Homo-oligomer: A and B are copies of this chain.
Amino acid sequence: MAARAGTAGKLKSTPAAPREGAKPVGADKRVAIMEAALDLFRANGYRHTAMEDIAQAANVAKGTLYLYFKSKDELFEALARLLAARVQEDLDAVAKRDLPLQAKVLAILDAKLGFFYRWILSSPHAAELLAPKANLPGDIFDPVDGSFRAMLSKALKEGVRAGEIDPKAAGLTLDAALETLLAAAYGAEHGGGSEAQFRERLARIVTLTLRGLRP
């Protein structure tokens, strides 16, 4: 259901390299740095990852990092931007597929939460990695959040129209139902475990919640 579970371990597929076409070397290095950074951030947390460490892991000199990223914060931001882009891609892919209500909702939620889970939340330093996120410019995640919510809303509306669910039966407006579903789904992040366990958890939450919304 996750569009690109198979490529989850690599960043290269998104060629966000500078001066595209001229020197693939630069692109490779930029990617290498980002990969090293993501690995180390996940392994050691943000503050405990020294630029020096990232440089070594990426096999470049410390100063080279600053050729590609103005600062440690900007490196982190670039990472966030990449992840956001990937989530958006997955959401777009889901939008094109014709799925029954529950599968659609699950796919949407998995596109967003699953991706984060894979990259960030499964790290023991997830919390620290999300802390700087709070300071990131809103334009990184806001658009993704927007389409995410829009898709979810659309799916629920279709479910109502098809008579599959009826928020009023549970005393909720459609918006309230959306927010509740969303919040509950976020809870799937908790509990740790493998990605499969996460997805199982998410699926069950969706199942129960949609059942709770039945007419």
Binding site for B on A (CB under 8 A): 45, 47, 124-131, 133-134, 170-172, 176-177, 179-191, 201, 204-205, 207-214
Contacts and interface: CB of A to CB of B under 8 A. Distances in A.
Contact of A127 (B128, B213, B214): B128
B127 A172 contact: no
Contact of A205 (B126, B180, B190, B213): B180
Chain A residues touching B, majority SS? helix
A131 B183 CA distance: 21
Contacts of A129: 127
Contacts of A185: 184, 187
Could you say which of A130, A171, A211 has the most chain B C-beta atoms within 10 Å of its C-beta? A211
Number of copies: 4
28 contacts: A124-B134, A127-B131, A127-B134, A128-B128, A131-B131, A172-B208, A179-B191, A180-B204, A180-B205, A182-B187, A182-B191, A183-B184, A183-B187, A183-B190, A183-B191, A183-B201, A184-B187, A184-B188, A184-B205, A184-B208, A184-B209, A186-B187, A187-B187, A208-B208, A208-B209, A209-B209, A209-B212, A212-B212
A179 B190 CA distance: 10
Given A185-B187, A186-B190, A187-B184, A170 B207 contact: yes
Contacts of A128: 127-128, 131
